[in-house]
Amino acid sequence: LQLPTKATHQQTREFNVRLALRTLYDSGPISRAEISRRTRLTRTTVSDVIAGLVADGLVEEVGRGPSSGGKAPILLRVVPDARQVIGLDLGEEAFTGALVDLRGEVRHEVSLPVGGRDGDDALALVDVLVERLLALADRPLLGIGVGTPGVIDAVTGVIRWAVNLDWQDLPLGRVLEERFGLPVQVVNDSRAAAVAVHTFGLAGARVSNLVAIKVGRGIGAGIVLGGELVHGDGFGAGEIGHLVVADSGERCRCGRSGCLETVASAGAIVRSARRGNGTGREWRTAQRLGLDEVLRDFQRGERRARTAVLAAGRYLGAAIAAIIGVMDIHRVVLHGSVTAFGDPWLDAVRDATGARALGLLTSGVRIDVVNERANLAVLGASAMLMTNQLGLSLAR
Ligand SMILES: [Zn+2]
């Protein structure tokens, strides 16, 4: 996500373009002389690079700054809506897509219910979503950023395994590139969300180390270390949902038993809150009740719901303690449907984390629910695509 702040003589013209653009993006409006000073590129190089960016419509002149004696300098800025990115979140209930501008502002959003589709049917739904967004685009498109559950090779765009969608070794990046003729970036949705939290400072402050954990139907973490997203050797960094945490626990959709998802996810809470709640027909009705109903019971103080939710929070806290024990990261942000249980759940998470990790490590830890101003996976996948195509960071 970050480029070096200083150019050296080996670097290519493309690097110079990216460096000038990023400097302008992060610090504009500023003058050509100021870009030269900040990047240590020569004035001639900067003038040449800027001429190209203005011709491409990415940069524009916006009046004159204060004079420091001589002629007042012309100020430049990146045109926020010079390009658009299609950002997608292939979520549990719905595939959501948006047109996102260069400042991370969502221009149009489209959401299509998944309705249990998987395999080729789910892939066809992605096509429909992209077609709908293409029709809405009113600026040149940079490409498509896709956030999707599963283990993704973020370099090749191959989905190695997405259990919900029944996708295995699906080259989604290549499929979409060939179909739509645009660059495509495919990234795990939890990791995309971590990028969004990092780039927009949604953790309350812009920090270079953070863990963002999605707690919904699935559980997954995105880890940002030193300002960089951690992928891992096999692109599985942060796949905490299938850590086995409960001995002789329930069967998981991954095939094993006792995974974190079987005790701390939305589905686990619903099952646990409803188990044994009545008999016969009454019990079957109860089984169909979803998270919203459990949330209402929880807020009314119904005992079984509270027990289920708080136990789920404690399991999550234990997993967070393990992450902190290994990584010594102080900022943990939580998002996803389970965060709707609010402070009592969050307190259970925090207490379990504190009880299970070394006090020295947890004393500076902050665990919060992130304030989602837009779909985090859409924003994060868009940010990664922009970074790859233009060298931009979406930081303000
Ligand atoms: Zn599992």
Least confident piece of the model among 235-244, 353-362, 363-372: 353-362
Q: What is the pLDDT of residues 203-221, one digit of tens each?
A: 776 788 999 999 998 899 9
Ligand 1 mean position to 331 CA, how many Å? 26
Ligand 1 mean position to 268 CA, how many Å? 12
Write out the residues surrounding ion ligand 1, Cβ under 5 A.
242, 252, 254, 259
- pLDDT confidence band for 165 (50 / 70 / 90): confident
Strand partners, 257: 251
Residues 318 and 285 sit within 8 Å (Cβ to Cβ)? no
The Cα–Cα gap between 230 and 385 comes to 16
Q: Indicate the DSSP class of residue 223.
A: E
What is the mean predicted confidence (pLDDT) over 80-106? 92
- pLDDT confidence band for 396 (50 / 70 / 90): very low
Higher pLDDT, 334 or 274: 334
The Cα–Cα gap between 13 and 81 comes to 24
What is the mean predicted confidence (pLDDT) over 108-121? 94
What residues contact 89, with CB distance under 8 A and at least 6 apart? Answer: 95, 96, 97, 147, 148, 189, 192, 375, 377, 378, 381
Asked whether the bond before 80 is cis by omega within 30 degrees of 0, the reply is no
Ligand 1 mean position to 213 CA, how many Å? 16
Ligand 1 mean position to 250 CA, how many Å? 10
**Quick check: 76 pLDDT over 60?**
yes
- pLDDT confidence band for 186 (50 / 70 / 90): very high
Ligand 1 mean position to 253 CA, how many Å? 6
